[in-house]
Amino acid sequence: MLFRKGAFFIDSNLTLRQLQRWFGRVALALTVTFAVTQLLSYGTVLAWSACFGQVDYTTLMVLNDATIYLPCLVLIPLLLRGIPRADPIPDAALSGQEGFLALMFSLGSGYLFSYGTIALVSLLERLLGQTSTNVVSNIESALPPLASVLAFAVVAPVAEEFIFRRLLLDRIRIFGDGAAILIGGAAFGLFHGNLNQTFYAFALGAVFTAIVLMTNRIRYTIAIHMFINGISVLSTFENAQWFLYPMAMLILFSVLFSIVLFFVRHKRYTFEPGPLPFTSQEKLRACFASPWVWLLFLGGLAFSSVAIFL
């Protein structure tokens, strides 16, 4: 039997087993997409090297973007087509003050998790007796300035926000805001594919998902994403010493600001439970009852951890 909630029809006989299958389908879709994009990325670089010799960093970046983003645009909507969509969210604009708060909270949250990651990676290096490599930072430094800006501060924000905050979010909103924020953050973190960025990207992904859930507009998260990536790129330029101190002060301010803002204002925001007739606890149990969720979570973390030591 179907009953109507808004513009969305829900099966009143929907079971926890079906909910578990939906969570599993999301995890499987993300796992397949991640595996395909990584294989394409590595395979394309190897094939290019075999045909044309050593790959320069600009070519490497173009190949990487093409083999990561283009398959995501096809695979995510294709593999998630069996997950029903919730009602559309009404558009809402951010005021200037809200936009500033969103920017500072995003920047601060990301770097707060980044500092935690630095401590974790340092611990792993001591335990394993090996030195890790931050591939993204190396590529940022090696690329020509214009290519670096285009790749990291333009292409990446636009592509990633559309993939994760539009294509993916449109399907996972059915589980409710809380679940969508956690899934969106986890997917964004794991898809970065290296432990140096996993938790940093998780925090940004979760905050960006929350912003889109409040506004239904990815323009805000694209702009914030561009700003955050942009200051990271600028810090790698030659003669950027003048920029490092102001950037460090901005990051420190944003970290402290985001901590205070969380405790002062978090009760003002409420998570919509979504149209499904289940409690948060039931959704949590259904999610982690799926083996595909564990495969994505543990497999993604294992891959990200190994990748920084290769």
Domain range holding 246?
15-307
Q: Is residue 20 part of a domain?
A: yes
Question: Structurally, how many domains does the chain consist of?
Answer: 1
The answer to whether residue 85 scores a pLDDT higher than 90 is no
Residue 4: beta bridge partners? 9
92 CA to centre of own chain: 22
- Count of Cβ atoms closer than 10 Å to residue 219 Cβ: 12
Identity at 167, one-letter amino acid code: L
Q: Can you give the pLDDT at residue 253? A: 95
Q: Structure pTM? A: 0.92
Query: Which DSSP helix (H) or strand (E) runs through 3?
Result: strand 2-5
> What confidence score (pLDDT) does residue 55 get?
85
Instruction: Kindly state whether residue 1 falls inside one of the protein's structural domains.
Output: no
Encode pLDDT of 26-51 as tens digits.
999 999 999 999 999 999 999 999 99
- pLDDT surpasses 60 at 18: yes
What pLDDT band is residue 1 in, cutting at 50, 70 and 90?
A: very low
Question: What does the pLDDT look like over 94-133, one tens digit per residue?
Answer: 999 999 999 999 999 999 999 999 999 999 999 988 888 8
H-helix segments, 169-289:
169-172, 177-191, 195-215, 219-234, 241-265, 280-288
- Quick: pLDDT tens for 151-186: 999 999 999 999 999 999 999 999 999 999 999 999
For CA atoms 86, 220, 70, 307, give the dihedral sign: negative
Q: Which single residue is written with the structure tokens 């430094």? A: 141
Q: What is the pLDDT of residue 287?
A: 96
Does 6 fall in a domain?
A: no
CA–CA gap between residue 30 and residue 35 (Å, rounded): 8
Structure confidence at residue 11 (pLDDT) = 58
Tell me, yes or no, whether 8 lies in a domain.
no
Band (6; pLDDT cuts 50, 70, 90):
very low
- Cα separation, 196 vs 192, in Å, equals 9
Q: Rounded to whole angstroms, how far apart are CA atoms 141 and 281? A: 45
SS3 7: coil
Domain membership of residue 10 (yes or no) is: no
Is 137 within the bounds of a domain?
yes
- Examine residue 2 and state whether it is found in any structural domain, yes or no: no
Mean per-residue pLDDT, 188-197: 94
Asked if residue 24 is part of any domain, the answer here is yes
